[in-house]
Chains A and B, each alone.
Chain A
């Protein structure tokens, strides 16, 4: 469904009225010239003329009032393909269901936000924008976004309506600047077939780090030349292990950055041992041959990776690309004294620019869009998890829930949910973590040094925002 089709559905288009009036005048002029058929045609054309003119008059009287009652808001969304179509369907439903606020939506690739930043800097932004999560706090902290606390309260939405730990996602210093569209959560996946083949119990994934290390080693296979043929496990998203080892990237109470937390250092040391044991260059070489993740050649589906970090979208992906795969998902293994129930969460956001012209219309639409029913439909279409409790129970979402998806949902409901630190530095922090990881992989810094460097850099960057 494209915007072109949508626009034809808007009633009261003034263009049609004007054309009709023109046709009416022409008919009258012609009939005047034909005296022989004056009577009948005169009457007919007069009738026609009167009808047309009164229609125009009627429209002219009616139009301004309907136009005044109608606000048009501009909405930028970044989903294409079937996901975009699902969102467009929601937009159309909203438009057709009432006439006070009409949404003019367009597909806008976010990329790294060039267009969004430009339009916010330029001063004439759209009314509702879709952004990545790392953009919300930088934009909100700079005053470019409207705070959403009041509208949410006015709509009767409270913390209890959202999944645990999600209420503060998108907030900065206690002020909410964006609403999550849908949520992604990572889980620990394992390939049951590979387990069974190696003589391991396919229903018993590793629960501790020690078990993980042992099973990973057992399942790793190299060929005669020492190149990897199967990797037992490869820790990729380092923050997961920071939290699993009892560390954290920031203190949720004081909101201080704690990249060099002892738990993080311990996790980094474990990661360093991993890179050394399996030789990071051999791993990279192996990874170079991995197929696209959204295809049947995903290394996990093909058994090249026996255990991996995977998000809830894998439920839909495996159904499409690897229906015969036997896999399971559970919480991440953790060391003694760590957190056994880490639930890493990410998502995209809807934000209202502070300088948008139609704040009320945008907020009205946003409230509707994030209501449980719509949230459930959109999350179902994206194979994501809706951020609202009530949405989980909606039939349209309920019917997509498989045992694996239920595991992901349970992790969100009962686990230790953490989201990226709410800082105005954008991707700077995660890039510093990447750099720390790279330094550890190269052996140019010890885990502690690497994390301390990252901590220093982020703190220095944060100084700019005081």
Chain B
């Protein structure tokens, strides 16, 4: 019996490791390309060890564009967006998941519908609207709408809230707790994995968003990284090593966040985290 279990685990590890090697390929290529001299980027089949490793690429990255300024702008926009999106979506999702009221399903479908319309056709009217408000050229179009929630996050949180049993909240309600208290004291702590997951995705989108910063940030001192990195390339030759180096630096916060926050957000829910 034990032998079968052990074999099972061995196979599991082998499969996971094989898969991991496959899944590591893009990232490994990104790292390796960031250190390549320009002419080694497109060897087919690709080489993995740059020869010689051009650490100076990172120096060029920092000096050819105002990398740190763009990084700072990106941090500013993203941190504010994520905070606002999360705070408002958490509240809105509660209304859709835990409260009964007439018109709820209809509004929820409307919410989903807002995700369905391709953004290309709302881009121009939305821009004109912000132009009339005088917000174009500032960070406002990027950080104020998040105060009204993200359909994606609301949907995600609504599903998770819906999976949280009502016993505790029901008894709290009987004891006279207000809905807001139930929301903040009971549901939110239990929804930590979902909140963290939602923040992760919102973080990634905002951090890598190209189009919205492109059209709303007119002053190139306020550009975010996604836009600013474009300045490294000439029209005919993309500056691959620098672009990959920049993308690597851009993705590092996300990766570190994901790796170290796992303890916080994927594990440790009091109604029973599951292992094995």
Contact = CB atoms under 8 A, between A and B. Distances in A.
Given A117-B124, A121-B124, A294 B236 contact: yes
Interface in A115-137: 115, 117-119, 121-124, 126
B46 to A, nearest CB: 11
B131 interface: yes
A382 B234 CA distance: 9
B221 interface: yes
A250 interface: no
Interface string B194-223: 000000000000000001001100111100
A118 B123 contact: yes
Interface stretch (A74-82, A263-271, A278-286): A74-82
A122 B127 contact: yes
A294 B41 CA distance: 10
Interface stretch (A32-40, A106-114, A337-345, A390-398): A106-114
B235 A295 contact: no
Contact of A84 (B131, B227, B231, B236): B231
A399 interface: no
> Which of B66, B123, B220, B234 gathers the greatest number of chain A CB atoms within 10 Å?
B234
B39 A321 contact: yes
A289 B232 CA distance: 26
Interface string A230-271: 000000000000000000000000000000000000000000
A313 interface: yes
A449 interface: no
B221 A114 contact: no
A80 to B, nearest CB: 4
A114 B237 contact: no
A122 B123 CA distance: 11
A227 to B, nearest CB: 15
> Which of B65, B136, B220 gathers the greatest number of chain A CB atoms within 10 Å?
B220
A292 B131 CA distance: 40
A81 B221 contact: no
A3 B220 contact: yes
A109 B124 contact: no
B107 to A, nearest CB: 30
A357 to B, nearest CB: 14
B59 to A, nearest CB: 16
B128 A121 contact: yes
B116 interface: no
Given A79-B234, A79-B235, A107 B44 contact: no
A289 B44 contact: yes
A162 interface: no
Interface string B225-260: 001001111111111000000000000000000000
Contact of A297 (B42, B131, B136, B218): B42
B124 A118 contact: yes
A2 interface: yes
A124 B136 contact: yes
A123 B230 contact: no
A292 B43 CA distance: 9
B215 A118 contact: yes
A115 B233 CA distance: 19
Contacts of A295: 38-39, 41-42
B124 A124 contact: no
Interface residues of A, number: 37
A408 B250 CA distance: 42
A183 to B, nearest CB: 14
Contacts of B238: 294
A292 B214 contact: no
Contact of A106 (B65, B127, B219): B219
B232 A291 contact: no
Nearest to A297: B42
Interface in A1-45: 2-4
Contacts of B131: 122-124
Given A81-B232, A123-B131, A296 B39 contact: yes
B236 A313 contact: yes
A4 B234 contact: no
A83 interface: yes
Interface in B26-81: 38-39, 41-44, 64-66, 69
Contacts of B239: 80-81
Contacts of A3: 220-221
Interface in B123-137: 123-124, 127-128, 131, 136
A203 B49 CA distance: 41
B39 A83 contact: no
A289 B42 CA distance: 11
Contacts of A2: 65-66
A291 B42 contact: yes
Contacts of A123: 128, 131
B118 to A, nearest CB: 13
> Which of A81, A124, A382 gathers the greatest number of chain B CB atoms within 10 Å?
A81
Given A121-B124, A122-B127, A294 B237 contact: yes
Contacts of A81: 64, 231-234, 237, 239
Nearest to B134: A124
Given A109-B230, A124-B131, A83 B124 contact: no
Nearest to B65: A2
B29 to A, nearest CB: 14
Contacts of B221: 3-4
A118 B127 contact: yes
A382 B215 CA distance: 26
A78 B220 CA distance: 12
30 contacts: A2-B65, A4-B221, A80-B232, A81-B231, A107-B231, A108-B214, A108-B220, A109-B214, A109-B230, A109-B231, A111-B214, A114-B211, A114-B214, A115-B214, A118-B124, A118-B128, A119-B215, A121-B127, A122-B131, A123-B128, A123-B131, A126-B218, A292-B42, A294-B236, A294-B237, A295-B38, A295-B39, A296-B39, A297-B44, A382-B235
Given A80-B233, A118-B124, A321-B39, 11 more contacts: A80-B234, A80-B239, A114-B215, A119-B215, A121-B124, A123-B131, A124-B131, A124-B136, A292-B41, A295-B38, A297-B42
